[in-house]
A and B are shown apart, each in its own frame.
Chain A
Amino acid sequence: MIVLFGIFLLTLLVITALAIVRNDSLYAAVILNGIFSLLMAASFFLLDAADVALTEAAIGAGISTVLFLGALALTGELEKSPTKHRLLGTAVVAIPTLLIIFAFFDIPQFGASDAPVHQHVGPWYIEKTPEFIDIPNAVTAVLGSFRGYDTLGEVFVVFTAGIGVLFLLSARPLARRNEPFVARDPHKGLRHYLVPRVVGRFLIPFIFLFGLYVQFHGEYGPGGGFQAGAIVAASLILYSLLEGERRCLVVIPSGALRWLVAGGALLYGGVGVVGMLLGGNFLDYNVLASDPVKGQQMGIILIELGVGLTVTGVLLSVYHAFAGRGKL
């Protein structure tokens, strides 16, 4: 049954991908892209990768669709006529594709217990998580502690992206800097559309609450800072779409957003440094409390909070940077 469902999803995925490539309307392509991400998320879920599925759904189908639409509002809706090097492009794409297909002839069967990935570090994580960290979700243990340095790096990838967007979009020609926005009235948003407003207002607190749940439930089930940050940011972006950007900036002013962006990354790094000062290595949570297991749990909760803050801050900043820009 699951195999059948998987084939069904993958077929839809291929159809959607082809439709995205063949489409001239960028607006349609963006919406199809959202559908693509949802199908991906469903496929990940079928493969028991619930954490990845949650991220893909929140980021791929949710936030990036909004950002793409924001970018489209500033540019055009139609794709420019195809470039001359189409044949060359097809060849360049075809070669790696064929190579990957070739590579996959020899891989271990899906789910085989004697596959190398289930023989080496995997069993260690599953065996040691209860002993060292004592939380049910081994994925969170790997991401937060065993490979916490990677996760710190990923937070800084998000941070860098935020810095980049803020830096590049703040470069306006001097003459235009003081002009008021003409693209749309920032006070209004969608306020005169009654139905979306009522439904949206009803949904926002629940989305927000769900974000907090995902944030703090990461130790027990799928979830964590990245997904929670995206969900919380989504609820605030929805508020901004309904009530206008200005009102959203009253809730979290852009100065506070900067502190959110930097603060989360610093909180994560700070936990690592405190570990160093207390006599452990960088990101060693054992030394945070007298009981190493308690220390691990405390460390993971703190760094997940840092992740959530930075992700929320960056996504909101990126959204505001696009929304605050007049039509080019």
Chain B
Amino acid sequence: MTTIAHHLPALQVIVPMLTAPLVMLLKPAGLARAAAIAASLFAFAIAIAMTMGVLDGHIYTYRMGSWPAPYGIELAVDRFSVLVLLIVTGASSFALLAGQRSVDADISHDRQPLFYSAWLLALAGLSGIPVSADAFNIFVFMEISSLASYVLIAGGSNRRALPAVFKYLIMGTIGATFYLIGIGLIYLMTGTLNLEDMAQRISGVEDVNPIIVAAGFVTVGLALKAAIFPLHVWLPNAYTYAPNTVTVFLAACGTKVSIYLLLRFDLAVFQGNLVEHAFHFAAFLMPLAVLGILVGSTVAMFEKDIKRLLAYSSIAQIGYILLGASLVTIAGLTASTLHIFNHALAKGTLFLAVACLATQCTGYRLSQLGGAAKKMPWTAGALVVSGFSLIGIPGTAGFISKWYLISAAYEQGSLGIALIVVLVISSLMAVVYIWRIVESIYFGEPTSDLSSVREAPIAMLVLTWAAALLNIYFGLVPELPVSLSSSAADILLGPTP
């Protein structure tokens, strides 16, 4: 019972969490950075080990303090959780390894231990949500991850990060409070906080006011945290003014964890109990998903700042994830969870490439990036590859999830055809906004003297290209994410579809 494999779910969270106070005390910035990287890589290794475990059919459960489930807190890791854990720990490790130059540019050395400490807390918070099987425990880790994210975003040298983060803080706090009100009401009627226990005990009280209102509060609160259109207004500026390394990390996994929780809560707890839940869920999310896709893509087409352009593209991509989920079918949820993985991969790589550009260029406006490809061919190449993945060109990871999404929509008859039209139009819009980036870095006129511009540091390039190649690898050999996400869909919808 005491083998290390048994402790993996707990170690996933406590390794980064307990390293954070140590990192804060380390004096030379380099030491703090090394410790943060070590903890993040260790967490990544744990996530990979658990992925291999669940693929072998193992389901990890862990009793905190050895107390039995509804009385104590239980951790449970299944195939859906590991999908999210892989993204969170992977994004953190890539961003940290690549980020030295970017962090040095934004944050003075004496403040870096605090920065890395906050980073590890964000990592611990974001990993604590998918491993937990307890609604209140999830709230606690949501608090840790949110607070730490605010700190990280505000850490940049750009003063405009502060109003952006304040808006995020207010909206994020409202979202978390709504979630808390929701689980408070459920606790009032069921007396339990354990998710599985909750799903069982709700039946019998499923039609009383508190439970119905709770479902609304939980869904809207998590939609706010997941930046679902029209509750996305905090996201563009937060991503734009955050330090580049932080944007890589949070753009890859920040909102994904909230979407994970939204799907898990609504489908695993409410779906089986609430009358016509599937209909309400779809009626709420599908229009928002379609609007988010169209509005996000449209704004991205006209945006002049590369970071904000990619942030608006994220709003559209969150729309894809929701669109798949709002079909409430196995195929739809497979596409949805698969796109959680693939979008994290594409957007993470894109922001890594932006971080490479930022080491040399004067600003983030597309015009200021003019002609950068001539001096930075490798960076530009990685940008193009990940851009292709975002658009969904065959051979890249993005294509796989778009394909699953279209096939899932096709099952839906005439409504599905309309959704496919939306998907095709928005993919064309993605072609437009990615082309605008490519156009400016390859063919744009340089606005400043480019003679001192050289390629980004080799460590950054290697990691950016590693991420770009992963986009291609998972486009050609998609078995791992596909098998995880199809199991995730089975888990969410239960044994009978």
Residues of A in contact with B (beta carbons under 8 Å apart): 96, 99-100, 102-108, 115-122, 124-125, 128, 145-150, 153-154, 156-157, 159-161, 163-164, 166-168, 170-171, 258-259, 261-263, 265-266, 269-270, 272-273, 275-276, 279-286
Contacts and interface: CB of A to CB of B under 8 A. Distances in A.
A103 B210 contact: yes
Contact of B21 (A128, A164, A266): A266
Interface of B: 2, 7, 10, 14, 17-18, 20-22, 24-25, 62-67, 70-73, 110-111, 114-115, 117-118, 121, 124, 128, 134, 136-137, 140-141, 143-144, 147-148, 150-151, 154-155, 178, 181, 185, 187-192, 201, 205, 208-210, 212-214, 216-217
B65 A262 contact: no
A65 to B, nearest CB: 20
Contacts of A160: 118, 121, 144, 147-148, 151
A120 B209 CA distance: 21
A197 B342 CA distance: 64
Nearest to A255: B25
Most buried by A among B111, B147, B214: B147
Given A159-B20, A266-B18, A279-B2, A164 B64 contact: no
Given A99-B217, A146-B71, A160-B147, A281 B65 contact: yes
A104 B216 CA distance: 14
Contacts of A107: 188-189, 210
B140 A121 contact: no
A103 B71 contact: no
Contacts of B71: 121, 124-125, 128, 146
Given A120-B201, A261-B24, A163 B117 contact: yes
16 contacts: A99-B217, A103-B185, A104-B209, A122-B191, A148-B64, A149-B64, A153-B140, A153-B143, A156-B121, A159-B121, A160-B148, A160-B151, A163-B148, A261-B21, A282-B7, A286-B66
A148 B10 CA distance: 13
B357 to A, nearest CB: 25
Contacts of B136: 147, 150
Contacts of B115: 167
Interface of B is mostly: helix
B73 A269 contact: no
B216 A145 contact: no
Given A116-B188, A156-B124, 5 more contacts: A104-B210, A121-B70, A146-B67, A156-B121, A164-B118
A98 B115 CA distance: 41
Contacts of B185: 103
A274 B147 CA distance: 28
Given A103-B185, A117-B188, A281-B63, A167 B22 contact: no
Contacts of B188: 107-108, 115-117
